[in-house]
A and B are shown apart, each in its own frame.
Chain A
Amino acid sequence: MNSEGPISRPDLYVLARVIKVLKEKNRLNRTNLATYTGLSYDRLMKYLMWMSDKGFVQLDSNGDVSLTKRGAETYENLVKWILEYVGKVRFPES
């Protein structure tokens, strides 16, 4: 991924980490969110911009970030989707 430009195809792992932290903490300022997710501030900001464009998070003027209903639902849908697909795979006996 190009670290200079905007995000074209985001890393699902990073998105999921941001959403999971926001679900647990409800509302966080950007610096704390960067600490909790283990991302650099710049990288987090790119993801937050992308997520905000998609309507997954809300950024307020105080620098706080919160998860929107759409963001929470998307995350749940993703979990369900993976569960549905991984759940269909039958495994050999160990």
Chain B
Amino acid sequence: MGKHQRVWCCCLTEEKLGKKMEEFMTALDQVKKYRQLINSLADFALIIVASVIAVLSVNIIVNLLPVLFGYDPIQLNPINFLLSLVLLLSGLSAGVLWVDRKIASVRTGEWKSSLNEGTPGVLKLLQELKWETIFNDIRLAKLGFVLYGFLRILAYWTLIFIPLAILSAFLQSIIHTSISLIVVLMIALILVLILNRNDLIKRHEQIGNLDSLLWELRWFDSEFRRADFKA
């Protein structure tokens, strides 16, 4: 191989290495974002619980109005329904926005300036990686990813169930046809699963990917530790 050809090949390899390392660091940034999910979950759950408590409070107040002030309960039903819907939608939106904001606040791409140095920068990044923290983050990221998905399903389920339950009560008061609450719960769950089908599939795949990333990085770490600068 001639000298020029050799230099050209080496530059290409270094360029490829830079690109691959960029993918690698982007994946680790993604893990950091998923890791942030778990920190935001308590807030998300609190926001949802607060909105459910608000809905229940409104229901109790609206149900007391006919007893205390003699309002017509049939006239109050649509107001109750609308208020519940607005409160639940607001709670869910606030929860999702809060989590998104928290995730967006994660600092990423801080490694880009090191990558501009080429191969030395790649080595610097690899040496500075705290592998045990990364492995721990991946494990927590998986948990956060699963829990967030579960909470989202639960939130949507509640969101769909309450209006359906109110609708069922409304139907019972108008046409005296009662639908069992369990049937309403099941209908709500089926609707949620259908609406979130793509998200569930993606979530399942990502968890598998995070799992394999964890194992591959463990293996890479042990190889990198053993590596020495040998000719």
Q: Which residues of A contact B (CB under 8 A)?
A: 9-13, 15-17, 20, 54-56, 70-71, 73-83, 85-94
When chains A and B are docked, how far (Å) is the Cα of A90 from the Cα of B122? 18
Q: How many A-B residue pairs have CB under 8 A?
A: 94
Chain B, range 196-223, C-beta contacts under 8 Å to A = 202, 205-206, 209-210, 212-213, 216-217, 220, 223
When chains A and B are docked, how far (Å) is the Cα of A51 from the Cα of B122? 20
Q: Which residues of B contact A77 (CB under 8 A)?
A: 231
When chains A and B are docked, how far (Å) is the Cα of A53 from the Cα of B222? 27
CB contact under 8 A between A74 and B17, given known A13-B124, A90-B216: no
User: In the complex, which of the residues A17, A71, A91, A92 contacts B120, with contact meaning CB atoms closer than 8 Å?
Assistant: A17
| 7 tightest Cβ-Cβ pairs between the two chains A and B | A92-B209, A91-B27, A16-B120, A13-B124, A17-B120, A12-B123, A74-B231
When chains A and B are docked, how far (Å) is the Cα of A94 from the Cα of B33? 10
User: In the complex, which of the residues A10, A73, A74, A87 contacts B20, with contact meaning CB atoms closer than 8 Å?
Assistant: A87
Query: When the two chains form their complex, are residues A10 and B229 in contact, meaning their CB atoms are under 8 A apart?
Result: yes
Q: Which residues of A contact B26 (CB under 8 A)?
A: 91, 94
* Distance between B125 CB and nearest chain A CB, rounded to angstroms: 9
Cross-chain pairs A/B with CB under 8 angstroms, 22 sampled: A12-B127, A12-B229, A13-B124, A15-B229, A78-B119, A83-B16, A85-B223, A86-B20, A86-B21, A86-B24, A86-B220, A88-B216, A89-B216, A90-B213, A90-B216, A91-B30, A91-B209, A91-B213, A92-B27, A92-B209, A93-B209, A94-B27
* Distance between A25 CB and nearest chain B CB, rounded to angstroms: 14
CB contact under 8 A between A79 and B10, given known A13-B127, A55-B231: yes
When chains A and B are docked, how far (Å) is the Cα of A86 from the Cα of B16? 11
* Distance between A15 CB and nearest chain B CB, rounded to angstroms: 6
Identity of the chain B residue whose Cβ is nearest the Cβ of A16 in the assembled complex: B120
Q: Which residues of A contact B39 (CB under 8 A)?
A: none
Query: When the two chains form their complex, are residues B220 and A11 in contact, meaning their CB atoms are under 8 A apart?
Result: no
User: In the complex, which of the residues B23, B126, B229 contacts A82, with contact meaning CB atoms closer than 8 Å?
Assistant: B126
CB contact under 8 A between A20 and B213, given known A70-B231, A86-B21: no
